[in-house]
């Protein structure tokens, strides 16, 4: 599974760094390092969304730092 987190300037201001570090921790805690390919990406032109732009296998989501755990459980763990 390929997960891409936007690190463009607008998403950076919305907390992309925090989303990335939470995702890294959650992936490691759940033993998914081999299964989930976490990447950073530059602005995908979706800055108008409320949260940080995250794609999971090409599907676009908007994730705020406080939603990262729930997002991980639903969209990443939930699809394993
Ligand atoms: S900065 Fe993330 S979509 Fe533009």
Q: What does the domain layout of the chain look like in residue ranges?
A: 2-79
The tally of CA atoms less than 13 A away on the side-chain side of residue 21 is 6
**CATH of the domain spanning 2-79:** 3.40.30.10
Quote the pLDDT of residue 44.
86
Prediction pTM value: 0.95
Q: How far is the CA of 52 from the centre of ligand 1 (A)?
A: 7
Determine if ligand 1 sits within 6 Å of the CB of residue 55: no
Q: Which residue positions in the chain have pLDDT lower than 50?
A: none
Q: How far is the CA of 30 from the centre of ligand 1 (A)?
A: 28
Task: Identify the helix (H) or strand (E) that includes residue 5.
Answer: strand 2-6
């Amino acid at each position: 599974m390929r997960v891409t987190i936007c690190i463009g300037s607008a998403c950076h201001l919305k907390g992309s760094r925090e989303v990335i570090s939470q995702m890294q921790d959650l992936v490691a805690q759940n033993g998914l390092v081999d299964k989930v390919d976490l990447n950073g990406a530059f602005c995908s032109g979706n800055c108008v969304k409320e949260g940080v732009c995250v794609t999971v296998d090409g599907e676009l989501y908007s994730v705020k730092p406080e939603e990262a755990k729930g997002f991980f459980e639903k969209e990443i763990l939930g699809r394993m």
